[in-house]
Amino acid sequence: MLKSCFNCASEISSKDHICPNCYAVQRKIFTRDDLFDILEKEFPTKPTDKERFVSTKIRIKPKGYRRWLTFGIFTLGIAYYYYLLMVFKNLSDHWYYPHGKYENSTKIDMLVVTLILVFTNFLGIPFIQYVKYEKLRRHLQNDPQASEYKIPVAGKTVFWIYSLFNVLFMGTVSMLFFGISSIVAGKYFEFETIMITIVFFVIAGTIFALAMFLAIQLSLFERNWQKQFNQHINWHYKSIRRSKKQRSRRKS
């Protein structure tokens, strides 16, 4: 069906939204929104969704938390920090496994995590632990096998317990410092410091006991987190093997 261009009066198709002769927009036929929709289809400006890289060849080895906790104690925390970095690397690599669009990402910026551990030491652990727990927790909640997992505790719970543990740890060190200082002061000044020393050491012992209670609770949280992550990774491997078997059967 033909029609006349309102601008140059030349005959054009009724489907033309722009006159091929004078390039005038046929505003009497197409509304502004219609025109933008047509132009978007022919000349798209919105970025298309980039397909996420997916690989089943990335091998994630399940880890035993108790062994790394023991190494961490004997190395004054150094091995434990290394363990945390490996866990974050595995958590990030895990996202390259096949996942549904409804599942929350577990991708992590390893550079940021490494810088926090290097420059803030134990003071930054509550923040990165919050990220670790929340990443896995939200991912498992939207997982098809969610009913089979014991979902880790909320990240904010772990954050506050780790923060309180840091405060108690620093309080223990401070009380020990003041207790030792009172002993040294008693040798140079003519006043009795035994009672003051005892008070400082008693307070240090009490704070240390509370810190150890929190440390045990955090260890239980960590063990459960690692257990659920290992279980989830094993499920991925089983799923990959099932997919390979199905493909081989189809080919045969």
> Where are the domains positioned within the chain?
2-42, 71-239
Q: How confident is the model at residue 8 (pLDDT cuts 50, 70, 90)?
A: confident
Query: Residue 138 pLDDT more than 60?
Result: yes
- Report, as an integer, the average pLDDT of 212-226: 91
Of 97-106, 182-191, 222-231, which one has max mean pLDDT? Answer: 222-231
Residue type, 183: I
Smallest Cα–Cα separation from 164: which of 117, 119, 213, 131? 213
- What's residue 158's pLDDT? 93
The lowest-confidence range among 19-23, 115-119, 212-216 is 19-23
Query: Residue 209 pLDDT more than 70?
Result: yes
DSSP-derived secondary structure for 30-94: S-HHHHHHHHHHHS--SPPPPPPP--S--------HHHHHHHHHHTTTHHHHHHHHHHHHHHHHH
Asked if residue 164 lies in contact with residue 172, where contact means CB atoms within 8 angstroms, the answer is: no
Q: How confident is the model at residue 20 (pLDDT cuts 50, 70, 90)?
A: confident
- What's residue 187's pLDDT? 75
SS (H, E, C) 216-228: HHHHHHHHHHHHH
- What's residue 173's pLDDT? 92
Please give the DSSP secondary-structure letter assigned to residue 18.
B
Residue type, 28: K
Specify the pTM.
0.69
CA distance 57 to 42: 39
Asked if residue 6 lies in contact with residue 24, where contact means CB atoms within 8 angstroms, the answer is: yes
- Cβ-count burial 91-117 (b if 16+ within 10 Å, e if not): bbbbbbbebeeebbebebeeeebbebb
Q: How confident is the model at residue 213 (pLDDT cuts 50, 70, 90)?
A: very high
- Report, as an integer, the average pLDDT of 179-208: 83
Total residues found in the chain within this entry: 252
- What's residue 168's pLDDT? 95
- What's residue 169's pLDDT? 92
- Report, as an integer, the average pLDDT of 62-91: 83
**Coil vs helix vs strand at 247:** helix
